[in-house]
Amino acid sequence: MPEEIAGWELSRHGDQEHYRKRLANGVTVHARWDGTGTVEAYVEPAGIGRTLTSSRKEFHDKEAFFTAARLVVDMSANLPSFRMGAETHADHVLTGEVAGSVDAMPGSGGVPEAELKFTLTDGRSVTLILTEDQSNDLTSSIHSLSKHVWSEQHEEQPQREAEVPDVSEVEAGPDTGHELMVVLEQRFGVTQDFLLAHVDWSAVVVVGEPAVSTLLDRVDELTEAIAPRWFPGAVERPGEVWVVLHRAFA
């Protein structure tokens, strides 16, 4: 039974893993791994369609294999349509207003990738899979908007005198990722064995039982304990649920 991983259709035959991605312009990218890997792109239907490109050598490193497969997808997606009567190589642009926050998760393909999940106000859910370089470019672009565009617009708004809240009895929550881990262990019994962390500590992911159930059952207490620097969320993964503790950046 085929399954889906990181946007690829995956089927297994013995020790072989076959990855397939069908593109809107009629091109299919196929990648095979059985300890060594090969990648090719062809025009449907397979077998009688035209091969556009194929790797000249076998890959012995799985990360290099996935990188090559992603590059072939990027190249193939920019080709004109190979479908009969079609003039465009892609469907119309999907546009919609994002509802709530954006979930950012590590990629599930075993390589440095990010999965961004958007829920739109019309009820649709969209997941974008970005390479490490694309994620860095996106972060840099948004930072540039914040610094050079949005900040200027905020400065143009009339300034109001802000009320100063009484924080004399407020207990400060954890600041760094390491302080967060101490709170999780001391207050909730969740040890490091159940934790995954992003490289930049922008999020800490709790996986496995009984840690996940404990935090979900005590979510109000958890929210209060880690505020204001961190806030919790739940993400459904195939066959399991993760609790994601996001870093709140000012």
Tell me the average pLDDT across 69-98.
Answer: 69
Whose structure tokens read 């195939």? 238
What own/partner pairs with CB < 8 Å and gap ≥ 24 does 68-76 have? 68/37, 68/39, 69/19, 69/29, 69/31, 69/37, 69/39, 70/131, 72/29, 72/39, 72/40, 72/41, 73/21, 73/23, 73/29, 75/41, 76/23, 76/25, 76/27, 76/29, 76/41, 76/52
What mean pLDDT do residues 156-183 have? 68
pLDDT at 153 over 90: no
Pairwise pLDDT comparison (153 vs 246), residue with the higher score? 246
Average pLDDT over residues 19-32: 86
State the pLDDT at residue 160. Answer: 64
Torsion of CA 148, 149, 155, 158, to 10 degrees: 180
Q: Output the pLDDT for position 165.
A: 54
Residue 146: pLDDT above 50? yes
What global pTM score does this model have?
0.41
Find where tokens 């143009």 sit.
156
Query: pLDDT for 217-244, tens place per residue?
Result: 999 999 989 888 888 988 888 888 999 9
- Report the range of poorest mean pLDDT among 11-20, 123-132, 151-160, 172-181: 151-160
| Band of residue 48 on the pLDDT scale cut at 50, 70, 90 | low
pLDDT given at position 157: 62
Mean pLDDT score of the chain, rounded to an integer? 79
pLDDT of residue 111: 63
The answer on pLDDT for 170 being more than 80 is no
On the question of pLDDT at 112 being above 70, the answer is: no
> Lowest-confidence range among 101-110, 150-159, 200-209, 234-243?
150-159
> DSSP per residue over the chain, as a string?
--EEETTEEEEEETTEEEEEEE-TTSEEEEEEESSSEEEEEEESSTTTSPEEEE-SS-B-SHHHHHHHHHHHHHHHHTSPP-STT---SSPPPP--PBPSPPEEEE-SSSSSEEEEEEEBTTS-EEEEEEEHHHHHHHHHHHHHHIIIIIHHHHHHSPP-PPP----TTPPP---SHHHHHHHHHHHH---GGGEEE-TTSSEEEE-STTHHHHHHHTHHHHHHHHTTTEEEEEEEETTEEEEEEEE---
Position 177 confidence tier, pLDDT thresholds 50, 70, 90: confident
